[in-house]
Amino acid sequence: RDTHASLTTRVPIQRIECRRRVFTDSVIFGLHHAALPNPISMVYAILSQSLTNFNHAPEYSRNQWMQASFQDPCMFHVILFAASSHLEVVRGENGNPVTHYHRRQAIKLLSENISASRTVSDTDIATAMYLWHYEANEARIHKEGLLQMVNANGGLRKLGFDGFLSHMITL
């Protein structure tokens, strides 16, 4: 099964090409690389650690989730937002500009994705789930949006990632 194809089946080709350009820019995050402490390694480590806590999830689902996190710009930014939020808590910081940047980018891309299509992708739903979990102030808004997206896609049983996404939402 081609995982990349399953991630993008509901996205028009033009949007896919547009999305891929996000990763080819010399300034990936809107900030110079030097401003970030090896973000890809940090995100990969935090994402891997969080996924190992879900022992019930098949390895395939976890690999698919990891792949989606790096292929979809919207999900990529929300993962960086979640990782940066986690580091703020661990370090006792608040108001890190990197955290705010990735939050804004994730919300902007999610809004664009929803506006541009009649259907919502699994990665869009995963993005809303992360925003719901990591933004206490906006949790109600994200939860309502998440429920609308899940219902529009036919409910929890219709979501992708072999049931992993629906399990993450119900935690």
pLDDT tens-digit map of 39-82? 556 566 666 555 554 555 555 566 787 788 888 999 999 988 88
Domain count, the chain: 1
Highest mean pLDDT among 39-48, 96-105, 128-137, 162-171: 96-105
- Which of 64, 127, 68, 1 is CA-nearest to residue 150? 127
pTM, entire model: 0.56
Helix axes 97-116, 122-134, angle to 10 degrees: 140
Query: How far apart (Å, rounded) are the C-alpha atoms in residues 142 and 135?
Result: 8
Model pLDDT for residues 5-18, shown as the tens digit of each residue: 444 333 333 333 33
Helix axes 59-71, 122-134, angle to 10 degrees: 90
- Which of 29, 44, 41, 28 is CA-nearest to residue 97? 29
Question: What φ, ψ does residue 137 adopt, rounded to 5°?
Answer: -65, -30
164: containing domain? 3-170
In this prediction, residues 138-145 reach a mean pLDDT of 73
